[in-house]
Structure 1
């Protein structure tokens, strides 16, 4: 990355004015983005394979989406209008929310990286806009949007409106995502704001769960009359205007469709102005956010207190393993990257336990909620070692045995995880009014937690990758590792599910055959989990002893 940037300071393109100078900067930014994408696939075969699989999946989804949109050509114009306006609006909303809540700030085109270069804001804006179109998300949006040309191939004017709407919608998506992330790039450097966003993401996930279990089916509420009313409102907003314009042309209201396209174009212009202003503030302030500095409470000095509260010390031994567990337990609550995962669990439990009760659903299958949460907790640990970052050197410097490190991490998580799944097991048994199933639910819940921790004891060192920095948005993944995250979670979930299969089979026998199987599961489940955990700690510990420096290098984000 350094060589192309050097061209900005040494060559003429950075100082030249007019279209030629802007075109050179645009070409340079596009080249930088392509190089960054290529570099993100280097470094390991696993990353390359994950990137290729992710690209293939993205292409498959794009082709499928484009085909389905094109098939609306055979539907009635009114039906195609409803599907495209509602579906297209959801896509545009996703472009606003997902970059912040899931994928995070795209650091590869963060304007703060170009603060010291001799670039005007106009050229920087043009270059970043062009770079925003590079990648599967923007390409997929453009291709699927362009498929509406086939949908509205019912006249020359509808086709022209569809083509213009597809282009405007894609530009809107890229610009709005860049404007939002640029505006928040400085704000996210404040820990309070990062924690607030974490809480917002947690509440969003919890709301989806509650809507799924606690309210009537959305399909029952979404009658055609309701959908038409919603689409009618969306069609006058930037979210749905581009998708509604071709339908107006088909219905003979070309002027109305042109007005909708003007609404979309005006929204793009307003967003560009807002993006330019956000970039100006970000560059002038250097990305600093109010309150981003760290302040030590009065009277508090490092080492003045134990790492964990008094209640936790009753469960942790006064050994090296207990010391590691104390640090991990502290990490779960103090680190915003971990807290967002930790706080999602009670919200999900509330939706799973309280939602069905509100809806009058009391099937015995709900007893599997406790074991399911246990599996989820195990999946949260799949890359847990990476959250240490460069601090892992402290373990390596004192030659801490790898097996002790693995056992301490598992213990630090089990201290809070086992009570949580135990409460979940008891609550679900009360909801379904089957207290006789509690032994089975509790044994299965404890077993799934231990099985997940056992597998994570291996994966968090063998296939670890850099975690988001502690000072960054907790939802991002450095180095283009989002595909790796998805692949790790998919393969990890499949493996943990297979390892937990005996537990779920015994739980099924207790649910649908004889509840007495639960007493066997109450004993055999935790024993099975402990055996796997011991094996996982040995395997993961041995790998850590032999490949500690390589692991440290792998989980420490590189700066470009």
Structure 2
């Protein structure tokens, strides 16, 4: 069965786009070369040990937090085999075994074998321990990677899955936006690392990480401490076996198709169900519904957590960079900025449930719906943005940032919430209906147009606040930056009110059309007038083109398979 699964995996990979795979192969090869170069060019045995510990920790973290990049992990899913008469545990172990053959896992093994450098440098006899230690570390890392991938696939069912998925997307977005800070600092410190190694405190922490256990076994064997060497090998074997047993349980296909939900009320949602905190009005009802949905709906929660983790990751990168530590207190503003991305498809995430808004439409209901959604986003993103900003200012001692934070938060939350609700209504993307969602990206379809509009329009509309802060800091210190707070509050209020008002006017006449676009993927009433009509038409055209491209891709694959079968018969 394992052989068949491996063949299926490679067959599916052969029919997938090769561009990203080629880029991954080049990047993986470069990382392997960097790993071996770090071990070869280290100044001494002790320094080499510390360098390898750092590199192995990076390999382990990359595999653990980026499991979707591992070859084969996302190709064969347990759900594909739910109806087959195969024992669940046997299928789980077979799917796990199918992950090991692949380019990415091969790179991981080649990187782990760099402990051979330390073995030959200390005592060639330690190679006897180095090979099994590298293999056990490789197996442990891949199993951890596959388990985390399973947790990511279960993000729609478990709290842990949502957190892992949110952290992963946060690291991805934060790395794209601010990863250059750490990379630049790392390149500057590489000569010092391979010459002098790490501080004793950092080294003492790294030595106990699972990624360092194979190296610990090699060093113990080289020092003649064979009981210690076999102890580390035994620990690796025990942990790997335990993870294997856990994988046999957790990687089994879900017999309910992933649709079952827990009956326990999510932690924290009781805040809204006890003593009344919200007004008994239409606006209070929508606000309560939205707060619950952002907290309970896994897809909404994933967007929310990703935004928070993005701000935290950027702050962490800026703080660790040293050179750019001055920008760390402003990373909380990125959480507020993420409103425009996380909320740019709110109505699309509702799916066919938008019908409830249509049938319940009456005077004032659309206004309550729009304003309630805006307020919910401001509360859920603005609160952590404020907390992170305050903590980082106190941690770094950069008290100059107080005016920037106090001016930037209202400007960003107001403008971003207004743009998010407007774009989500005019340029709605249906995606997958809530009752059929499985993966973390099912809540929206093609969102490239919406995301680009949200980002650049938000940047454009906060220019007055940013300009006032720049002028205040450069030309009118020390009181000038505090005057920018007035500009930030006014800009945020205008963005919240005017963009929300524009959305209310639009939806008052086109709420049934919105439902038709979500439910059936078409617009039977024609485009609206003016600039909003152009945006609506562009979004609808993008959805139709994406749908047509997918259908064409399926048809091309079917033709290719038919041609292959014809050649085989001939």
Q: TM-score range by the shorter chain?
A: 0.5 to 0.7
Could you say which residue in structure 1 is the equivalent of 2:96?
Answer: 129
Conserved 8 A contact 1:389-1:467: yes
Could you say which residue in structure 2 is the equivalent of 1:243?
Answer: 215
Out of 220, 237, 255, the residue aligned to residue 286 of structure 1 is: 255
Correspondences of 1:117-516 after superposition (within 5 Å): 117-119=84-86, 124-125=91-92, 127-133=94-100, 138=105, 140-146=107-113, 154=121, 164-179=132-147, 194-195=158-159, 198=162, 224-234=199-209, 238-248=210-220, 257=229, 260-261=232-233, 263-278=235-250, 282=252, 286=255, 292=261, 311=278, 316=283, 328=290, 331-339=293-301, 342=304, 368=330, 371-392=333-354, 409=370, 412-414=373-375, 417=378, 421=382, 442-453=406-417, 455-456=419-420, 460=424, 464=429, 466=431, 476-478=440-442, 496-497=458-459, 500-514=462-476, 515-516=479-480
Task: Determine helix, strand or coil for the equivalent of 2:31.
Answer: helix
For residues 77 and 89 of structure 1, the distance between their equivalents in structure 2, rounded to whole angstroms, comes to: 18
For residues 466 and 372 of structure 2, the distance between their equivalents in structure 1, rounded to whole angstroms, comes to: 23
Taking structure 1 as reference, are residues 144 and 389 closer, same or farther at Cα in structure 2, changes over 3 Å only? farther
How much does 1:506 deviate? Answer: 1.5
Is 2:495 the partner of 1:529?
Answer: yes
Is 2:63 the partner of 1:82?
Answer: no
For residues 477 and 161 of structure 1, the distance between their equivalents in structure 2, rounded to whole angstroms, comes to: 43
For residues 152 and 28 of structure 1, the distance between their equivalents in structure 2, rounded to whole angstroms, comes to: 38
Conserved 8 A contact 2:2-2:97: no
For residues 537 and 366 of structure 2, the distance between their equivalents in structure 1, rounded to whole angstroms, comes to: 10
Q: Which has the higher contact order (CA 8 A, sep 6+)?
A: 1
How much does 1:507 deviate? Answer: 1.9
Conserved 8 A contact 1:379-1:493: yes
Task: Determine helix, strand or coil for the equivalent of 2:86.
Answer: coil
Q: Which runs of 5+ in 1 are unaligned?
A: 1-20, 42-50, 210-218, 297-304, 317-321, 354-362
Q: Which runs of 5+ in 2 are unaligned?
A: 175-188, 190-196, 266-271, 316-324, 507-530, 555-570
Is 2:66 the partner of 1:73?
Answer: no
For residues 168 and 443 of structure 2, the distance between their equivalents in structure 1, rounded to whole angstroms, comes to: 26
Could you say which residue in structure 1 is the equivalent of 2:60?
Answer: 92
For residues 306 and 466 of structure 2, the distance between their equivalents in structure 1, rounded to whole angstroms, comes to: 24
Conserved 8 A contact 2:119-2:125: no
For residues 117 and 140 of structure 2, the distance between their equivalents in structure 1, rounded to whole angstroms, comes to: 21
For residues 402 and 501 of structure 2, the distance between their equivalents in structure 1, rounded to whole angstroms, comes to: 30
How far does the alpha carbon of each residue in 1:134-175 deviate from its partner, in whole angstroms, 9 at most, with x for none?
777645534533555567664865667655544433322222
How much does 1:224 deviate? Answer: 3.2
Task: Determine helix, strand or coil for the equivalent of 2:98.
Answer: helix
Could you say which residue in structure 2 is the equivalent of 1:26?
Answer: 6
How much does 1:91 deviate? Answer: 4.2
RMSD: 6.2
Taking structure 1 as reference, are residues 29 and 60 closer, same or farther at Cα in structure 2, changes over 3 Å only? closer
For residues 116 and 276 of structure 1, the distance between their equivalents in structure 2, rounded to whole angstroms, comes to: 18
Q: How many pairs are equivalent?
A: 468
Taking structure 1 as reference, are residues 148 and 295 closer, same or farther at Cα in structure 2, changes over 3 Å only? closer
How much does 1:120 deviate? Answer: 5.0
Taking structure 1 as reference, are residues 314 and 433 closer, same or farther at Cα in structure 2, changes over 3 Å only? farther
Deviates more, 1:75-84 or 1:364-373: 364-373
Conserved 8 A contact 2:66-2:168: no
